[in-house]
Structure 1
Amino acid sequence: MYRPLNIIIAGGGTGGHLFPGIAVAREFMARNPESRVLFVSTGRPLELEILTREGFSHQRINVSGLKGMGLFGKLRAVMKIPGSIWSAFGVLRRFAPDLVVGVGGYSSGPVVLAARWRGIACVLQEQNILPGITNRLLSRWVDRIYVSFQETRFTEGHAPAIWTGNPVRKEISYDDRVPGIFSVDSSSPPFGLLVLGGSQGAHSINQAMVDAAGRMGDIGPLRIVHQTGIQDAEMVRAAYDKYGISSDVRAFFNDMPEQYRKADLIVCRAGATTVAEISAVGKASIFIPFPHAADNHQELNARTRVAAGAAELILEKDLDGESLVNRIRRLVEHPDDLRDMAERARCLGRPDAAAEIVDDCYQLLEKRV
């Protein structure tokens, strides 16, 4: 029987940080429903919406990032640090956590540091192949680091790093008993194309798909599910309607497990959570990394899958409707290649990542008693 714990999950800002934290939180709750979980971050609307839907409590702290800011922006961010650490101490005092899990993003910094100074057990979860700046800075001050890629490296003197894979929600995982997961059958049209731009959408991918819409007539029966973000939804929907393409266009999907299951091919960014989920469900993909991601980590994430034959890659500088539709057409016409790519992706999946992390956290806490 696992004892109940008070867990703070610190960080977020994007779905890429938040969803792995939710997967770990769910696993802690599954071990003992008497456990309590509190998320601490800057409280962006997307975070609050998702956490409210998931039933988790949230506490906001006022902190800003430094990377990519101008001189005055950096000065304002630095001036917030003492107040954010003081706020973090208040959160720790009221919640009394047994463990703090930092999931990346600048809002995790004050919480992890304050917890360390109070002698509370702290661990990090790093989603990307190249660690983010916050996790790099915190890596010397924590008890464990759980990494998503075997190739991930931290600087000398960091805490022990354990390769677990990136935690994904349990409903997003390969299961050969469930129709649609890792199933490509060209004899059963329409072909399912899932287009994702991340939690905020991706204008360049949306624009390329609009340009591609008029070139898809010779591909055959096609069904496109496209997550656009708010601003481009109507533009994309109108393009598909103009060319008679069966589609489901929405700003954001709350039923991603179902959408993954129905897809034969996925066109998407290469954030760590997206990469992990695609591997977990065993799907072929065309990655279009966001070129302005910190330290170009999305391209690095994507190239690990391309090197394994589990995905294809189009850099944004090379992206247009013609190049995209040519890749899609080739994969539709060669289902054996599509199946091979999907199988290779599935073999890279680590669907038990959250369970491995929680197992190790319990072991860590037992040693500290």
Structure 2
Amino acid sequence: MPSVFEPYGSAQSFRMIVAGGGTGGHLFPGIAVAQAFLARHSKNQVLFVNAGRPLEVEVLSRLGWPHEVIRVEGLKGRGLWNQFRSLIKMPKAVLQSRRLIKSFDPHVVLGVGGYSAGPVVLAAWLSGVATVLHEQNQLPGMTNRLLRRIVKRIYLTFPDEAGRFDATKTLVTGNPVRDEILVLGEMPRPQHEERFTVLVLGGSQGARAINQAMVAALPYLADRRELMVVHQTGREEETVVAEAYNRAGMRARVQAFFNNVAEQYQQSDLIICRAGATTVAEITAVGRAAIFVPYPFAADDHQTCNARALVDAGAAEMVPESQLEGKGLAEKILDLMDHRSRLSEMAAKALSLGRPDATLMIIGDIYKLIGG
């Protein structure tokens, strides 16, 4: 697992647990911090602990990260009976987490959000281990809100203007971005006048509304032979969407999930996507123009807030899901295809908003907390 960060050569090595995940928005920032932590000292060790959802298992196994699974279920939006069952399982999850902590003996536990972070961070606090959190979004998730009082530090992507956290514990760092994506920000964007590549991302699980809008847009795009679409659909709609591109005679690569998303970013001219904090951070790291379609049911509509920061800076466009339809989306794509200079300006402005130092800030502060 090579890193773009140079080792610091510290005399002492440390161990860290990264707890939580569930979605790419939680998991990938944890991986970014883990990469930098290993780069800090060749003998540092990282263990991921989560609920063992398919995305977590697949990504961590493929990348070679050690990981353990605890038996825990979420509470939010699951109905009273399922919430009761989840609460009953919580003490056992904490005990299971304490056994893992005793075995691995970490110097610090980092919670990255998601319900599986809760029992691990709590068990670490009960065991006297240093605990820290990272909050990706403007509105904190339930797990981080519950844990905020017991941890030593909370790393924030956005300033805490609402005062939800103890200001003496917070550090605004931005959102950590994985090494393989960070390096793209230092590379020139490929120029292909004969090809225009649109990357469609619906998050790690896909986005039905974006899938349907792209399918509806195909009749308006099919005659542009220079257009290439790379489309991440999620598992449920991969076959249906792929068939739609075939019927339209479009050049396209359709997959449920891209393991090599950094490569897809590098080859893209325009990105159509949700506006989760991790996606926004990655787009600013690589410097690409984007059309955001915020998930309308995100808590307090925080994805719209995420997107608005780039739209106001001239780095992106935004289409509310309620206004998303095929012809209008096609018109936006074609307009940017035909005005490459504006596309380049948007990409440059996006790059200027990136926080490539986020991961190093977090690792530096963690080292201070654990005495490294």
TM over 0.5: yes
The alpha-carbon deviation at position 101 of structure 1 amounts to: 0.3
Q: Which amino acid aligns with 1:106?
A: Y
Q: Is the 8 Å Cα contact of residues 23 and 354 (structure 1) preserved in structure 2? A: yes
Q: Is residue 48–residue 67 contact of structure 2 (8 Å, CA) maintained in 1?
A: yes
Which of 92, 95, 113 is the equivalent residue of 1:83?
92
Report the Cα distance in structure 2 between the residues aligned to 1:137 and 1:277, rounded to whole angstroms: 27
1:148 aligns with 157
Q: 2:280 aligned with 1:275, yes or no?
A: yes
Indicate conservation of the 8 Å contact 2:138/2:160, yes or no: yes
Aligned mates of 1:159, 1:139 — CA distance in 2: 12
Q: What is the TM-score with the length of structure 1 in the denominator? A: 0.93
1:322 maps to amino acid: K
Deviations 1:145-195 (A, max 9, x none): 111123565425365211111111111126576343xx5x5x712111000
Question: What is the CA distance between 1:295 and its match in structure 2?
Answer: 3.5
Residue type of the partner of 1:93?
A: K
Give the aligned CA root-mean-square deviation in angstroms.
1.8
For residues 297-338 of structure 1, the C-alpha deviation after alignment (integer angstroms, 9 at most, x for no partner) is 222221222222221111111111112112112222222221
Aligned with residue 293 of structure 1, among 288, 298, 318 = 298
The 1-side partners of 2:135 and 2:64 are apart by 24
Residue 230 (structure 2) aligns with = 225
Q: How many Å separate the matches in 1 of 2:195 and 2:246?
A: 16
Q: Which residue of structure 2 lines up, in the alignment, with residue 206 of structure 1?
A: 211
Aligned pair partner of 1:130 in 132, 135, 139: 139
- Please state if 1:62 is matched with 2:71: yes
Cα separation, 2, equivalents of 1:201 and 1:152:
31
Name stretches of at least 5 consecutive residues in structure 1 with no aligned partner: none
Aligned equivalent of 2:339: 334
TM-score, scaled relative to structure 2? 0.93
1:239 paired residue number: 244
Q: 1:66: Cα distance to partner?
A: 1.5
Output the amino acid matched with 2:123. Answer: A
Give the C-alpha shift of residue 263 in structure 1: 0.6
Greater shift, 35-44 or 294-303, is seen at 294-303
User: Please, which of 25, 29, 32 is the counterpart of residue 20 of structure 1?
Assistant: 29
Query: Structure 1 CA distance, aligned partners of 2:283 and 2:164?
Result: 29
| C-alpha distance in 2 between matches for 1:347 and 1:59 | 38
Go from structure 1 to structure 2 and tell me whether the alpha carbon gap of 1:152 and 1:18 turns closer, same or farther (over 3 Å shift).
farther
Task: Give the SS at the match of 2:181.
Answer: coil
How many pairs are equivalent? 363
Q: Report if aligned partners of 2:136, 2:156 keep a CA contact under 8 Å in 1.
A: yes
Which digits, 9 at most, give the CA deviation of each residue in 1:178-217, with x for residues without a partner? 343xx5x5x7121110001111111111111111001114
Q: Which residue of 1 aligns with 2:170?
A: 161
Tell me if structure 2 keeps the 8 A contact 1:210–1:239: yes
Using the aligned pairs only, state the percent identity: 51
Deviation at 1:19, TM superposition (A): 0.7
